[in-house]
Each structure stands twice: as structure tokens, then as C-alpha cells.
Chains A and B, each alone.
Chain A
Amino acid sequence: MATEVAMKQKKYAESLLEAENTLVGIPPLTEADPELTVEEAYYIQLENIKKKTADGQTIIGKKIGLTSKAMQNLLGVDEPDYGHLLDSMVIENGGLVPKDKVLLPKVEGEIAFVLKKDLKGPNVTTLDVLQATDYILPSIEVVDSRVKDWKIKLPDTIADNASSAFYALGGKPVKVEDVDMELLGMVLTKNGQLVNTGVGAAALGNPAQCVAWLANRLADFDISLNAGEVILSGALSAAVEAKEGDTFTAKFAHLGEVSVHF
């Protein structure tokens, strides 16, 4: 039985990886397998991360998703999810998102944490996170789904590395003591036009609280957050679809700007 489950997870992991490589979205895993659990989905995600690191990629950090009430309501869940950030996902500030590597990309503005101390759950508090943070930066996350047309349920997106694709960091490093993250405002523009605005509180009330959630959730998989890791703490506003030729800029209070092109 255990092998059967492991085989199933391997198979799902392979189909997601193939979708990523061929840019052909797959049907939701939960369509063929409505019983697929969140825990299984995280193991599918880990399967592909192991494969990628074995191929020479490096884990840079983590991303937290589904941190807004709106997104949680949309998927009918009451907790966030997370994925892994790899070196292959980094875009320079102002850089180009390679069009041959995305299906239906969307853009979100987020606060990125860079850690100076390890964080290992359980029982990590928001205050622990603040004390373990070296600095924060503005970031744009490009999310994408290897599931056709974003027809995702919670296990689908988790298995798909929380729908992460690329991310850019920008602005200037700022110490957490110098800002009130809960009220830190952001404006996202597309080709110079306002798209939406957000505030730190959009991420579970406070982005640092999201990082604490992550550290505690990772403890279930015996994973810790490590000094030097980059953590994307969750979207401050709704994800916006990107088309070829678009330029997105996220401007943050106190932190500066970050932008990407498509």
C-alpha cells in the first residue's frame, strides 16, 4: 500500500514536471483523484524539488500562498500553502520573464523576508520571525499553473509547487524595526496604469505572521527555514494576468520598487 501511494505520487510529480517542460497544462490531479490529500500533495511537490536539486538547482527559499481571505475563500480553505523557491526562478529587477517558460502567468506584489537566523517550528511566533529577519525587500512573484487553465483545488496547487514560477526582488533592504509591516502600502501598475493597491495586513493580518505559519507548517515535514533564505510572504493584492509585452511595477512604501517585463 505504502509503495502504491509512493508510486502514485511519483507519477503525479512526473506529469507536473512534464507539463512544466512542455508547456502543456494537465488536467487537475484532483479530477482523476478526488481523494488526493494535502499531505500527499506536499510530498508530490517535494518529489519534484528533490529531482530539481539532484539536477543541480539550489533552494533559495520558500513562498507562501493563499494568505488572503479572498483567495482562501475562493479555494474553500482556511490555511495558506507554501512552495519552494529555486535559483532557476530568479528574475533580475527589471528583467524579462521568459515566455517559453510560462503558460498563463499572473503577477502579485509581496514583501520578501531575508533571514539571518534559522527558524524551526513548532511554536515559532511572529516575534521570533521579526528577530530572525535580516531585512525585507519588495518583490514581484510571477505565479503560473501547470494545471490547465488554473482549474486548481488546494491539493493541485500544492503539488504544483504552490503555483510558483518566477520572482524578482528590488528596492532596498529595510530592517523590520523601521516599518510597520501591517500598514505598509503597495501599488501595482501594468504598463504605467494602476492595477490595484494593497497593504501588508492583506497577508493574514501581517506578513511576519505568514512566515511564522510557514516555519510551523514546515515542522510537519521536518524542514526548517535557514539563515539566508528568501521568503515571499504572500500577495498584498489580487493576482493580475500578464501578457507578452506587459511591464509590471510594484511600488512599496519605505521599500522602493520592483519590476518585471513579459
Chain B
Amino acid sequence: MSTTVYQEIADYLVAGEEEKREVKKVTAELKKDLTVEEGYQVQEKIVSRKLAEGRKIVGPKMGLTSKAKMDQMNVDEPIYGYVFDYMVIDNGGKVSLSDLIHPKVEAEIAFIIDEDIEGPGITGAQVLAKTKSVIPALEIIDSRYENFDFTLPDVVADNASTSRVVFGTSPKCPSDFELDVVGATLAINGEIKELGAGAAVLGHPANAIAMLANMLARKGEKIRKGDVILSGALTGAVLLEEGDTVLGKFDGLGDVSFIVTE
């Protein structure tokens, strides 16, 4: 398939993002036989377009890292996308609904990488050895597709639904924690809506980063020093509404919060 088709799909999805409107999933009309590999080709076009517009990559993010989501999508490997600088909201800051389509929030642990990590064959333990620090995060996902209805190739093409992220402000040394049993709660307006522990992410959040290194290696790419990587959701996703105060609490890692405005 010619790369123009990938570019067209990429532009179609970026238009949805920029115009804050839902679009039909790619596999519904535009390209019914889109494969996962092609989904990543589309994603690369989106990334290139944003880089060309002067946006900067903060780091990759992992998606579909929970057993529940993998079963739901009938896959045995997570997916990845990229977080850009314009997506980062300050801790305690505002997320404006008018900038987004139908955002949901999830609690995650982010890894700040100290040295390049190049697959294949990378394991979670090796990732921890090359992790400078971990910070709690609230990721706001916002699929550009109607009703969050998509197939695996669709969500890959859509930059893994990446939309906004709020990072905590107090990085911690990963060796001070057992990240698989770090508990997190996600509360909206004081009421706990979702909770989970680190093991919800592929058994251990570092395993997700290891898989990322191994997936990138297939394309001759690697995790880079300085990348800030979202490792996947510890909790279920909660739909955001105007006026919500969102608070993620992470055992020993601290709190992350934001408010939702019009």
C-alpha cells in the first residue's frame, strides 16, 4: 500500500483531534482491511506531522496492558503511542472539555529513563536498572473514534488514544518500591471510582516498558535516555465530566490531581 494512504488516514485522525470531533473508525469505511502493522504506519505519519509542526515527544505510552483489556480486544501484546509536549497538564491544573472529545482518566506509573534501552530480550529487571525514577501519573485518553468503538489496528493508528497527561511532581527511586504491589486509587469529587495495584500492568509495570523496548527493536528503534514513559493503567478508565475534581493517590509515590472545566 502506498504511504499516501497512511498519510490520508493520519490526516483524517488528526483532523478529528484538532476539530474535537469523533470520527468513524478507519476499519469501518476508510480502510476495512487495515492491519496492526499498517496502524503503526499511520501512527508514524501522525508523529511525523506533529514533529514537523514543532511538537516535541515526551515519551512513549503503553496501552492495553491489562488482562481485561487484552481479553476484550483479543490480543496478547500491548500497544504503544506517543505523548507530546502539548498534552502535558500541570499537577493540580485544568483539563478543558472543550479541547477534547470524550475524555476518560486512568491512574498509571510513569518511568523516567536513565539510559537507552534496546531490545530484543529486555526484561522488567533490566528496565528497572536503567530507570532513573518513577512518578505517578493520570493519563487522559480520548479516542478519536465514535463511542470508543475500535479494533486493534484502529486504536494503534489513533496514537493509542493518547490525549493528555498529568504527572506527579515528586520522582522516586524505583528500587525503593515493589511496583507490582503499589496500590492506587482514583477518586472523582472525593469518591473512589477505580483502584488497582501495579501488577494490573502485565504483572509489573516494568514488564510493560520491557515489552515496549522489544516491540521497538523490531523496527530498529529503542527507548531513549530521558524518555518519560507511561507504563499502562493500574485502574479502569473513568469518563470525565465538567466540574470533576480528579485525584489519583499512589502508595508512597504521592498524589496527582486536576480539575475538569468546560
Chain A residues close to B by CB (< 8 Å):
180, 182-187, 194, 197-202, 205, 251-253
B254 CB to nearest A CB, Å: 10
Residues on B with beta carbons closer than 8 Å to the beta carbon of A202: 195
Could you say which of B67, B182, B192 contacts A185, with CB atoms under 8 Å apart?
Answer: B182
CB-based contact B180/A183 at 8 Å: no
CB-based contact A197/B200 at 8 Å: yes
CB-based contact B192/A197 at 8 Å: no
CB-based contact A199/B196 at 8 Å: yes
Docked pose: A197 CA to B107 CA in angstroms: 14
From known contacts A185-B182, A200-B183, infer whether A194 and B67 are also in contact, taking CB-CB under 8 Å. Answer: yes
Residue of A nearest to B185 (CB): A201
Residue of B nearest to A197 (CB): B197
Could you say which of A180, A201, A253 contacts B192, with CB atoms under 8 Å apart?
Answer: A201
Docked pose: A187 CA to B200 CA in angstroms: 8
Chain B residues close to A by CB (< 8 Å):
67, 178, 180-185, 192, 195-200, 203, 234, 249-252
CB-based contact A199/B199 at 8 Å: no
CB-based contact A183/B203 at 8 Å: no
Docked pose: A182 CA to B195 CA in angstroms: 10
CB-based contact A252/B181 at 8 Å: yes
Residues on B with beta carbons closer than 8 Å to the beta carbon of A253: 178, 181-183, 197, 251
Q: Which 9 A-B pairs have the closest CB atoms?
A: A185-B183, A185-B197, A199-B183, A187-B199, A183-B251, A253-B181, A197-B197, A185-B181, A199-B195
CB-based contact A183/B198 at 8 Å: no
Could you say which of B178, B182, B192 contacts A205, with CB atoms under 8 Å apart?
Answer: B192
Residues on B with beta carbons closer than 8 Å to the beta carbon of A199: 183-185, 195-197, 251
Known interface pairs A198-B195, A201-B183; 6 further A-B residue pairs with C-beta atoms within 8 A, sorted by A's residue number: A185-B181, A187-B198, A194-B203, A197-B197, A197-B199, A199-B196
Docked pose: A45 CA to B188 CA in angstroms: 39
Chosen A-B contacts, 19 in total, with CB atoms closer than 8 Å, are A180-B251, A183-B183, A183-B185, A183-B252, A184-B183, A185-B182, A185-B251, A186-B197, A194-B203, A197-B197, A198-B196, A199-B195, A199-B197, A201-B183, A205-B192, A251-B181, A253-B181, A253-B182, A253-B183
Residue of B nearest to A205 (CB): B192
Docked pose: A253 CA to B251 CA in angstroms: 9
Docked pose: A62 CA to B192 CA in angstroms: 26
CB-based contact B181/A186 at 8 Å: yes
A197 CB to nearest B CB, Å: 4
From known contacts A199-B184, A253-B178, infer whether A187 and B251 are also in contact, taking CB-CB under 8 Å. Answer: no
Could you say which of B180, B195, B200, B249 contacts A251, with CB atoms under 8 Å apart?
Answer: B180
A49 CB to nearest B CB, Å: 33
Docked pose: A184 CA to B252 CA in angstroms: 10
Residues on A with beta carbons closer than 8 Å to the beta carbon of B192: 201, 205
From known contacts A198-B195, A201-B192, infer whether A187 and B184 are also in contact, taking CB-CB under 8 Å. Answer: no
Residues on B with beta carbons closer than 8 Å to the beta carbon of A205: 192
CB-based contact A183/B184 at 8 Å: yes
Residues on B with beta carbons closer than 8 Å to the beta carbon of A200: 183
Docked pose: A126 CA to B198 CA in angstroms: 27
Residues on A with beta carbons closer than 8 Å to the beta carbon of B251: 180, 183-185, 199, 253
Docked pose: A185 CA to B235 CA in angstroms: 12
Residues on A with beta carbons closer than 8 Å to the beta carbon of B249: 182-183
Residue of A nearest to B67 (CB): A194
B175 CB to nearest A CB, Å: 15
**Which of A180, A182, A200, A253 is the most central at the interface, judged by chain B CB atoms within 10 Å of its CB?**
A253
